[in-house]
Amino acid sequence: MKKEDEFGFERVLEVYDQKTGMQGVCVIHNTARGPGKGGIRMVPDVTTAEVMGLARAMSWKNAMADLPFGGAKSGIKADPRKLTPEQKEGLMRAFAGKVREFIPGLYIAGPDMNTTEKEMAQFADEIGSPMACTGKPSNIGGLPHELGSTGFGVATATKVAVEHQGKSLDGMTVAIEGFGNVGTFTMKFLEEWGAKVVALSDSKGTIYNKDGLKYETMMKAKSEKGTVTAAHGEKLDAAKLFELPVDILVPGARPDVITHANVGNVKAKIITEAANLPIKYDVEQILMKKNVVILPDFVANAGGVISSYCETMSWNEKKMFEVVEEKLRTNTKIMLERAKENDTRAAALVIAKERIKEAMEKKGEWGKQYV
């Protein structure tokens, strides 16, 4: 395969298992800084091109987080909703067997869409090594993402951006899209640090209360009623969340939620991208020209992969949160200081590529690409 550019791709492995019918792909983009790190998603429409793009993005994310990891990603083509637990386990174990030779020297797996700590336990067991993946259950030495590392990192990056402007989170209004693992912990920590979350959304819509929503109340509404819209406040369409008069906006669920169609209605002055690709770059640039500070996805949502690094070091939960805070604080600040014309994404990419190039140069022109 022809190299895309000086960074990769190093390996693109498409695999098939006759017994289970498993179809999968594992892409290792660059390993100059360390083994490629990236999750295994299980979706019915996964493509090699999609996984290649995700693996490349993981190279930037891991380098920007200043971790000793390269970038990688995997996908298994299957619809988990149509599988029994036994069938799903069979696919995961079959995939593990096909990529065994790359683990953990060139690839360390993790959870992603439709895979959890349960599948990671199966993957590690099939490989025969706890170093095969991260996101494992805590009772076998893991630091599952359910601890809230990603949401904590999102909240930390937001706090740094506010402080960079010489302001305080106290009293600042926030709207958060999504109230799953990331959104709940983002709200929890921002509220603890003095911000006022006034809007939340989930698949049922948006709840807005200008006087503020409380974390415990929203957790109860979600648990008992199945939706944040059951709480006290004004009920709006989900898309209206992005147009509310708030200081901070956190797109935390779907891609492409702020587009050319609604960008003119965005009122927030800080946007923290907790989701992957919630805004295309050309739309981000429109916001940047209006002096909106954007914290790009691969910077702001790196708490999960930093937690993964801590797991490979066998650190405990307390140490993990300390490392997530230190790395998010340091790297967000560096990005904001390096940004020209408010273009934070371009600044972060330059920093990530500089770090990878430095590692490649120290290992020879092409790093480990032909080892």
Integer CA distances (angstroms), 270 to 108, 293, 309, in order:
34, 5, 28
Residue 258 tokens read as 């702020």
Q: Sign of torsion, CA 148 107 297 336?
A: positive
Backbone angles phi, psi at 66, to 5 degrees: 60, 50
CA–CA dist 26, 74 (Å, integer): 4
Which of 251, 247, 248, 225 shows the shortest CA–CA distance to 238?
A: 251
CA–CA dist 265, 291 (Å, integer): 15
Tell me the sheet residues that pair with 272. Answer: 295
Integer CA distances (angstroms), 364 to 9, 70, 106, 324, in order:
17, 16, 17, 31
Helix (H) or strand (E) holding 96: helix 85-99
CA–CA dist 179, 101 (Å, integer): 38
Tell me the sheet residues that pair with 176. Answer: 200, 250
Could you identify the residue written with the tokens 């920590």?
189
Which of 134, 66, 40, 50 shows the shortest CA–CA distance to 326?
A: 66
Tell me the sheet residues that pair with 277. Answer: none
**2 counts as catalytic:** no
Burial bucket for residue 97 (CB in 10 Å: 0-12, 13-18, 19+): middle
Which of 2, 19, 61, 73 is the catalytic position?
73
Active centre residues (catalytic): 73
